[in-house]
Structure formats: structure tokens, C-alpha cells
Structure 1
């Protein structure tokens, strides 16, 4: 599923986190998060997990 990287970045920066910190907080490897940034694709369950972490609706991370 396609994820809107600009929205992901906005939420990450809102919390003042680096990509490494976000990956760690999400229980992911940095390489996995970097893959999402590069491909702009991930599973719906990952998008939901990110949305839950940011306390936003999952649709807000979709393109």
C-alpha cells in the first residue's frame, strides 16, 4: 500500500524524532523504515501501527 512520505515526515518531525529514533520506537530496524521511505510502500498493518504511534487516523498517512 502506498504511504505519503511527506505526511510521515511531518509527523516524525512534529515529535522531534530522527529516523533512527522512529524506527526504534516502532520496533523496526532502521533498514526497514528506510525501505518504506525509498519505496513509498508498506503493508496496511504497518501504516496502522505508525498511525497508532502518532495518534492519528491511518488514512492521514495515505497518499
Structure 2
């Protein structure tokens, strides 16, 4: 199955833009969007968590 992109110019002439370049551009855009969403979610969850508190211990082992 081949999905070819056809573009229409200013004068109505259809041009064949092929398959690979539009596919790679869309794939790169999706990968970039997913990467940004994952990074923002990771940073947001990291900033929201409280740091662990050091609990004083009464038992000292020697």
C-alpha cells in the first residue's frame, strides 16, 4: 500500500510529492510531541513530590 501526497500549486497544477519525505516529517513531529509530553510529565511529577525527610533514629549500632 502506498500513500502518495499530491499538492496543488497556485495555478491548480497537481504535483506528486512522494511518500517518504511527508511520512518522515509526520513521524518526526509525532516523536517530538511524545518526547516533550513525557519530559514535561516527568519534570512536573518530580517537582511535585516532597523530598524524603530524615527521621532521627534512637538506635545506634556499634
Same fold (TM over 0.5): no
Structure ranking higher on relative contact order (CA contacts 8 Å, 6+ apart): 1
Bigger proportion of residues as strand: 2
TM-score, structure 2 as length reference: 0.24
TM-score, structure 1 as length reference: 0.24
Bigger proportion of residues as helix: 1
Structure showing greater Rg? 2
